[in-house]
């Protein structure tokens, strides 16, 4: 369980996280979505106490992360930025982390096997591919058998087999009753794993709802209409908030009106309809619709200040 209240973080005069309040619950996978530079990584660093908030408060299982006696048992985190010394072997890296909590070598071996790094465990981690580094990061995150698992862009650099494994891992962790908090800038990836979504843009919360709600709310009114009188219907539908796009000779895509409105209007004007279908926008479209302003703003701005 992660609870943030009015969390704000400034780096110089750039506000990375802006009055962000959120609750991440156990037993489900919560997706943390936002364009690059929207404050996801910063929020995760604030949760771990790596950075101190400018204002606001964040707790894990009711306490500040730093006040837990066995922090790795509370939160296992994979951060987006590399968090290991490339000169050290995977085994020694995990061992050094394990030893801070009195966790034994057998646990280190167990996790190396879990993420499939057995053959390279004694090699310097600096030589690892992105995917292997990512798996080592997962092993570090799970080392302390944490009640909350927090992963920043975990599928980055994974091969298809690894991505599939990651999805199942996340669902499995949630099914065990753990709190699973996963960030991504890829909506489609989240659609397959997350039960709940928190969307941020420019450090502010844009949406906080179940994945299903998110799709239906953000998709807007898009209706496909098939009619032999396409030109006639197009003229009738025209209005300030309505856009009509011909897809084929007799097929129109109408934005800004419901199927019901289109149907009633066609009946009133005695236009024949062969098809009238409400369209569900893809998650990717829904996400882009929601965050469009933030992305546009972002393009004119310098990169996120990362410390």
Partner 1 sequence: MSGYAGVGTIPRLAHTGRVTQARVALSEWTKLRSLRSTRWSLFAAVLLTIGFPVLFAFVTSSHWGSMSPSERADRHPLDIALAGVNVSQLAVAVLGVLVITGEYSTGMIRASFSAVPKRLPVLWAKTLVFAAVTLVLMVPSVLAAFYASQAILSRHHILQTSMSHPGVARSVVGGAVYVVLVGVFALGLGAIVRNTAGGIATFAGIFFVIPPLMNVLPASWNTAISKYLPSEAARQLFSLTHDSSSLSPLWGGLLFAAYCAVVIALAAVLLLRRDT
Q: Which is nearer to partner 1, 50 or 186 (CB)?
A: 50
Please select the residue that binds partner 1; options are 6, 14, 55, 70, rule is CB under 8 A.
Answer: 70
Rounded to whole angstroms, the Cα distance separating 2 from 92 reads: 30
82 is a site residue for partner 1 (CB under 8 A): yes
**Binding test (CB under 8 A) with partner 1, winner from 30, 43, 134, 140:** 140
* Rounded Cα–Cα distance for residues 246 and 27 (Å): 45
Phi–psi pair at 254, nearest 5 degrees: -110, 125
Check binding of 51 to partner 1 (CB under 8 A). yes
Window of 31-39, 45-53, 252-260, 277-285 that interacts with partner 1 by CB under 8 A: 45-53
Q: Can residue 15 be called a binding residue for partner 1 (CB under 8 A)?
A: no
- Of 36, 57, 62, 113, the one binding partner 1 (CB under 8 A) is 113
Residue from 71, 154, 201, 203 in contact with partner 1 (CB under 8 A): 71
Work out whether 226 is an interface residue with partner 1 (CB under 8 A). Answer: no
Q: Which is nearer to partner 1, 181 or 214 (CB)?
A: 181
Q: Which of residues 160-199 bind partner 1 (CB under 8 A)?
A: 161-162, 165, 168-169, 171-173, 176
79 binds partner 1 (CB under 8 A): yes
| Residue with smaller CB distance to partner 1, 29 or 84 | 84
What residues are paired with 24 via a beta bridge? 2
Smallest separation, CB 44 to partner 1 (Å): 10
Q: Residue 204, interface with partner 1 (CB under 8 A)?
A: no
Residue from 2, 33, 65, 183 in contact with partner 1 (CB under 8 A): 65
- Shortest Cβ distance from residue 293 to partner 1 (Å)? 28
User: Which structure tokens are listed for 278?
Assistant: 């409400």
Quote the tokens at residue 45. 């660093």
Q: What is the DSSP string of 132-173?
A: HHHHHHHHHHHTT--SEEEEESTTTT--HHHHHHHHHHHHHH
Specify the long-range contacts of residues 213-218, CB closer than 8 Å, at least 24 apart.
Answer: 214/283, 214/286, 215/280, 215/281, 215/283, 215/286, 216/280, 218/281, 218/286, 218/287, 218/289, 218/290
Size of the site for partner 1 (CB under 8 A): 62
How far apart (Å, rounded) are the C-alpha atoms in residues 219 and 290? 9
Least distance in angstroms from the C-beta of 289 to partner 1: 33
> In the chain, where do the E strands start and end?
2-11, 14-24, 29-33, 55-60, 75-78, 148-152, 179-184, 196-201, 204-210, 222-226, 243-248, 251-255, 275-278
Give the whole-angstrom CA distance, residue 223 versus residue 216.
14
**Residue 157 is encoded by which pair of tokens?**
């650099």
Which region, judged by CB under 8 A, interacts with partner 1, from 142-150, 231-239, 271-279, 281-289?
142-150
Contact criterion met (CB below 8 Å) for 225 and 236:
no
Q: Is 132 near partner 1 (CB under 8 A)?
A: yes
Q: What is the nearest approach in angstroms of partner 1 to the Cβ of residue 18?
A: 17
Does residue 112 sit in helix, strand or coil?
helix
Q: Residues interacting with partner 1, by CB under 8 A?
A: 45, 48-52, 65-66, 68-73, 75, 77, 79, 81-89, 92-93, 95-97, 99-103, 107, 110-111, 113-116, 118-120, 131-132, 140, 142, 144-145, 161-162, 165, 168-169, 171-173, 176, 307
């Amino acid at each position: 369980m992660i609870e943030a209240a009015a969390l704000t973080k400034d780096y110089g005069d750039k506000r990375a996280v802006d009055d962000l309040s959120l609750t991440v619950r156990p037993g489900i996978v919560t997706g943390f979505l936002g364009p690059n530079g929207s404050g996801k990584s910063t929020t995760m660093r604030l949760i771990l106490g790596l950075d101190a908030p400018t204002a606001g408060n964040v707790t894990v299982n009711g306490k500040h992360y730093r006040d837990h006696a066995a922090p790795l048992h509370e939160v296992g985190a994979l951060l987006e930025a590399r968090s290991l010394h490339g000169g050290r072997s995977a085994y020694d890296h995990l061992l050094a982390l394990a030893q801070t909590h009195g966790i034994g070598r057998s646990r280190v071996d167990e996790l190396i096997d879990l993420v499939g790094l057995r053959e390279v465990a004694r090699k310097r981690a600096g030589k690892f591919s992105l995917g292997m580094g990512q798996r080592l990061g997962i092993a570090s995150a799970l080392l302390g058998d944490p009640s909350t698992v927090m992963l920043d862009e975990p599928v980055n650099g994974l091969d298809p087999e690894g991505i599939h494994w990651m999805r199942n891992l996340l669902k499995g962790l949630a099914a065990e009753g753990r709190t699973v908090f996963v960030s991504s800038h890829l909506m489609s990836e989240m659609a397959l794993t997350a039960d709940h979504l928190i969307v941020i843009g420019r450090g502010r919360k844009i949406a906080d709802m179940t994945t299903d709600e998110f799709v239906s709310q953000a998709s807007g009114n898009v209706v496909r209409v098939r009619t032999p009188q396409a030109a006639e219907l197009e003229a009738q539908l025209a209005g300030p908030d309505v856009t009509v796009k011909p897809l084929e000779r007799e097929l129109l895509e109408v934005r800004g009106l419901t199927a019901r409105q289109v149907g009633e209007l066609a009946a009133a004007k005695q236009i024949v309809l062969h098809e009238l279908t409400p369209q569900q926008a893809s998650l990717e479209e829904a996400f882009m619709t929601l965050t469009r302003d933030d992305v546009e703003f972002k393009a004119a701005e310098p990169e996120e200040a990362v410390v």
